[in-house]
Homo-oligomer: A and B are copies of this chain.
Amino acid sequence: MDLYKKDSKQSQEQHHFSEQDQYGLYKSIFNRRDVRGQFLPSEIPNDVLSRILYAAHHAPSVGFMQPWNFIVIKSPEIKNRIHQSFTLAHQEAQAMFEAEKQDKYKNLKLEGIIESPINICITCDRNRTGKTVIGRTHMKEMDLYSSVCAVQNFWLAARAEGLGVGWVSILHHDTLKETLALPDSVVPIAYLCVGYVSHFNEKPELESANWLPRRPIDELVNFNGWEQAASNNTEQALIEQLRANIDFPQSFNK
């Protein structure tokens, strides 16, 4: 079937998702992890990498501007310079936490820049399609957000291909721009470590380390305005459904 043919009954049926199709998406969403410590040195085949990049390229973008670029980094020299920027920023960061959290922070493994076979920087070119962009006229940050959507597509596709991804944000922005020779108009959105892994963790590492708990989702949903609770039966039923779904991944994966 051709995704790009004209609308027709047949193609609309093809647009329907079976439970099996839904399962693949949800499996990727619920099993995606920020990977820092389990990278294997195995090469990533080009056909795998190309599929993931293609998924990222099909993210939504404001005014269809597709502001992203993908800089694939294998150079040991570049990786070392980025790692030095991390080491410095990591030391500075440690001092910002209250005394009781500093030790815990120091012992967290927060990046895999050197061990991962590939680093990828996803950027946003703010000048990509000229000054005036549909949908960016009133919210100037929309192009940055488009590139973030590309990051999330990349991450989910990588997970489905068995690759771990870690997003390193403890970096000096200026060092990152200089090391990758980014022009003024180009913002580095995400610096990602990518590679096959020995295993995927069952839970986010900061959750397992008791840094912070998973928030109950029913406390994050409101109606028609900030902190407005359910005010009718349908809204109350949604909140109850959310409470019942706290273990959605378990029941889904049975």
In the complex, whether A62 has a CB less than 8 A from a CB of chain B is yes
The answer to whether B32 and A169 touch across the interface, beta carbons within 8 angstroms, is no
A29 touches which one: B65, B156, B207, B238 (CB < 8 A)? B156
Cβ of A42: which chain B residues have Cβ within 8 Å of it?
A: none
In the complex, whether A107 has a CB less than 8 A from a CB of chain B is no
Cβ of A137: which chain B residues have Cβ within 8 Å of it?
A: 89, 92-93, 96, 170
Cβ of A72: which chain B residues have Cβ within 8 Å of it?
A: 221-224, 235, 238
The answer to whether B212 and A63 touch across the interface, beta carbons within 8 angstroms, is yes
The answer to whether B69 and A221 touch across the interface, beta carbons within 8 angstroms, is yes
In the complex, whether A161 has a CB less than 8 A from a CB of chain B is yes
Cβ of A221: which chain B residues have Cβ within 8 Å of it?
A: 53, 69-72
In the complex, whether A100 has a CB less than 8 A from a CB of chain B is no
What distance in Å separates the Cβ of A163 from its nearest Cβ neighbour in chain B? 10
The answer to whether A22 and B24 touch across the interface, beta carbons within 8 angstroms, is yes
- Residues 208-250 of chain A, each 1 if its beta carbon lies under 8 Å from chain B, else 0: 0001101101001111111110000011011001100100111
What distance in Å separates the Cβ of A234 from its nearest Cβ neighbour in chain B? 7
A26 touches which one: B55, B173, B207, B227 (CB < 8 A)? B55
What distance in Å separates the Cβ of A235 from its nearest Cβ neighbour in chain B? 7
Can you list 18 pairs linking A and B with CB atoms under 8 Å apart? A3-B30, A17-B162, A24-B25, A29-B157, A46-B241, A60-B167, A69-B226, A72-B223, A72-B224, A73-B223, A89-B137, A97-B132, A129-B212, A135-B170, A145-B189, A148-B148, A181-B225, A186-B226
Q: Mark A residues whose CB is within 8 Å of B.
A: 1-7, 11-12, 14-17, 20-32, 34, 46-47, 49-51, 53-55, 57-60, 62-66, 68-75, 78, 89, 92-93, 96-98, 105, 108, 110, 129, 132, 134-139, 141-142, 144-145, 148-149, 151-153, 155-157, 159-162, 167, 169-173, 179-183, 186, 189-190, 199-204, 206-207, 211-212, 214-215, 217, 220-228, 234-235, 237-238, 241-242, 245, 248-250, 253-254
